[in-house]
Homo-oligomer: A and B are copies of this chain.
Amino acid sequence: MSKPPACPKPSAKREAILDAAVAAFLEVGYAATSMDGVSGRAGVSKATIYAHFESKDQLFAAVIRRRCDRSAAFAPPEDKADARSTLRLLGHRLLDLLLQPDTLAMYRVVVAEAVRQPDLAKAFYESGPGAGKAQIAEVFADLDRRGKLAVPDPRQAADLFTGMLRTDLFMRTLLGLPQPEGHTIDVAVDAAVETMVRAFGTP
C-alpha cells in the first residue's frame, strides 16, 4: 500500500484555484492580489482555498513552482547549419520567449518578491535563466566542435549572447513603454548574431 503523495494532489477545485491564482499574481503582483479575488475568479469559496493551501504565501509559492516546472525548455536548433543561421534561429526563439507577456509578468513578480522569498528566486533562476543558459551554452559548444566558431568558454559565450539579446527592447517592454520605431526583434537578433560571429568566427 503506497503512501499518499506529499505535495500535489490532483483535484478539480485545486486546479481551478491554481489557475485563478496564477492569473491574478501575474497580472497585478503578489501584494495587490487578494484571497477574495482569487476565490471569486476560481468560483470557489475562500475557505476552500485555505483547505488546500496553508496561507497566501504558500499559494504564491505553489503558483510560482508550478510555472517553473512547466517552463518550456525552448528547443535549441537541431539542424547542422552554419553559425550565422544557427544563432539567428536560437536568438529569435529566445527573444520571442523573453518578450512574451507571461514571461515578463513572471519576471516582474519574482524580482519583486525575491528578497522576501529567496527560495522562489532560486527556483525561478534555475528553471528559467539557468536552464536556458545551459542550453545555449550547449549550442555554442556544438558550433565549436564543428569548427563553425572558436568558443573556448561556451557558458561565457551564452552569457554574452543572451545579454546582447536582452537589451533596450527588453527593458522598454518590461517597463511597459512604447517601442521606438525600427527597434524590432529582427534588428536586435541580427545585431547580436553579427557581433558574436565577428568576435568568435573562424576565418
Interface size class of A (residues with CB under 8 A): 35 or more
| Minimal beta-carbon separation of A27 from chain B (angstroms) | 8
| Minimal beta-carbon separation of A118 from chain B (angstroms) | 6
Residues of chain B lying within 8 A (CB to CB) of residue A166: 163, 166
Which of A48-56, A57-65, A83-91, A169-177 binds B?
A169-177
Which label, helix, strand, loop or mixed, suits the secondary structure of the A interface?
helix
Q: Are B163 and A159 in contact (CB under 8 A)?
A: no
What is the total number of copies of this protein in its complex?
Answer: 2
Q: Are B29 and A175 in contact (CB under 8 A)?
A: no
Q: Are A192 and B160 in contact (CB under 8 A)?
A: yes
Q: List 19 A-B contacts (CB under 8 A).
A: A28-B116, A110-B175, A111-B174, A111-B175, A112-B112, A115-B176, A121-B177, A125-B177, A129-B171, A156-B191, A159-B164, A159-B168, A162-B167, A163-B163, A163-B164, A163-B166, A194-B199, A198-B198, A199-B199
